[in-house]
Chain A
Amino acid sequence: MSNRIEKTIELNAPVEKVWRALTDHNEFGEWFRVKLDGPFVPGEVSTGHITYPGYEHLKWEARIRQMEMPRLFSFTWHPYAIDPAVDYSKETPTLVEFRLEPTPKGTRLVLVESGFDALPGNRMPEAMRKNDGGWTEQMKNIQAHVER
């Protein structure tokens, strides 16, 4: 089991168009289903409301990190923050990165969400920093055990 999510999709649309769909707050809101209060600005918090039917009571909040046109768009947020009664602000957020790459047919989009271990970098255990391979190996062992 990994503590990150990675997804790659090939889109039949030019990079510029995908970039706009990701970073223009109105376009982003259309497919993501959120009504955003204003444009995305690196370093600033983006706020809004979910427009997905049945979940309009939920707020959207993310801190925009990088907007390196047209290659990288990233923000941090609290994933899956779907219980309005829970204060998610104390939890360490995860990092969401969209990487764009031109292809002959259009755009390769790679999405990575990481940081589910919820540890800030300076509190990351030594073992994980120094021995990522060993950690991955151990996780495989445990996974093999759990899945057998």
Chain B
Amino acid sequence: MLSVRPQARVANPAPVFAALGDRTRLSLLAKLSDGQTRSIAGLAANTKLTRQAITKHLRVLENAGLVTSARVGRESQFAFRPDPIVEARSYLDGVSAQWDEALSRLRSFVER
């Protein structure tokens, strides 16, 4: 809340950071980040994770907007959605730019 510019206003990124702050969820995202959609069974392959655990983590990722699901036949297919990461970064960029401006005013203030 420094030099506030309304166009820099974006959604609170907290749910995104919270969703990313878990190793299992990151591993699921890393798998999906190749752009291929996968079923729960596909995500469970070659891991020790149960279907229930994967479902739970996918739910968190879906709520944060990082994953979308679509029903294909009897199974849901999950896909990576990078938009929230871009938004979270633009939020941080906004806060960062405000600090740049505030620190430059501090510089003028102490160096005058």
Contact = CB atoms under 8 A, between A and B. Distances in A.
A1 interface: yes
A31 B108 contact: yes
A127 B30 contact: no
Contacts, number: 138
B88 A128 contact: no
A83 B10 CA distance: 11
Contact of B103 (A83, A111, A116, A125): A111
A18 interface: yes
A52 B2 contact: yes
B17 A33 contact: no
Given A1-B85, A31-B105, A82-B1, A142 B30 contact: yes
Dominant secondary structure at the B interface: helix
Dominant secondary structure at the A interface: mixed
B14 A116 contact: yes
A13 B17 CA distance: 37
B109 A125 contact: no
B106 A21 contact: yes
B43 interface: no
Interface string B9-52: 10011100110111110110110011000000000000000000
8 contacts: A7-B103, A21-B110, A55-B4, A80-B94, A83-B9, A109-B103, A127-B22, A141-B30
Given A109-B106, A142-B26, 7 more contacts: A3-B92, A5-B99, A54-B4, A83-B9, A117-B14, A142-B29, A142-B30
B70 to A, nearest CB: 20
A5 B92 contact: yes
A135 B23 CA distance: 7
Interface in A125-148: 125-128, 131, 134-135, 138-139, 141-143, 145-146
Contact of B1 (A81, A111, A117, A119): A81
Contacts of A31: 102, 105-106, 108-109
Contacts of B102: 31-32
Contact of B107 (A9, A82, A119, A141): A9
Contacts of A7: 96, 99-100, 103
